[in-house]
Amino acid sequence: MTSPLASRLHHTAYVVKDLEATRHFYEDILGFPLVATWCEQEALFGSVRTYCHCFFGLQDGSALAFFQFADPDDQAQFGPELASSPFRHIALNVDAQAQQEIEKRIADAELKQTYVLEHGYCRSVYVVDPDEMIVEFTLDADHVDEINAIRAKDAHSELKRWLAGDHRPNNDVRPSHLAAAAD
């Protein structure tokens, strides 16, 4: 297997309705510092666009980035209306202490749209941001290296099997009571 060309996430970017509400959520509630704000005006996609681009730092130097446009027409064209799918989300790796702290912050902020999933290979805490994007905080299982080694060996064959119509699950590390519920 070849190693990926990218060393880590640099940033992931999304358009939001209200940068201040976004800043409050990510910085004040979740504790990600605002590390850069770029106010821009440039020709993009056939017009001059004026926008603000904010970056919230993560420990590894990567960032979550969010745009807001000055012109309502630009905002409408590129805006934050995301598909209402739980599969469209940001997932961030955390350790056990950080996950507990995030859960405490979510509870203290009395955020209602939150849930936890035990995937087997990880435990995930989900919360919804002000623009209805899901943010996932993932704590890997203690034996994640072993699990990842197994999945790396069969990643291509399992994809080929699934694409051919064999949709049987292969998550044998999910807690058994949850796996049965999914059947």
Each residue's pLDDT tens digit in the chain (183 positions)?
Answer: 666 656 778 788 888 888 999 999 999 999 999 998 888 888 888 898 899 989 999 999 899 999 888 999 988 888 777 655 565 788 898 999 999 999 999 999 999 888 898 888 889 999 999 988 889 998 988 998 898 888 888 887 897 888 788 887 888 887 765 444 444
Task: Note the helical H segments in 109-136.
Answer: none
pLDDT at 179: 42
pLDDT at 180: 43
Confidence at residue 142, expressed as pLDDT on a 0 to 100 scale: 92
What's residue 21's pLDDT?
A: 93
What pTM was estimated for this model as a whole? 0.73
8-81 CATH: 3.10.180.10
Instruction: Read off the tokens for 142.
Output: 């203690």
pLDDT attached to residue 106: 95
Closest by CA position to 133, among listed 174, 92, 182 = 92
**Side chain identity at residue 17, one-letter code:** K
**Secondary structure (DSSP) of 6-72:** --S--EEEEE-S-HHHHHIIIIIIT---EEEEEEEEEEETTEEEEEEEEEEE-TTS-EEEEEEESSH
Residues of the chain with CATH 3.10.180.10: 8-81
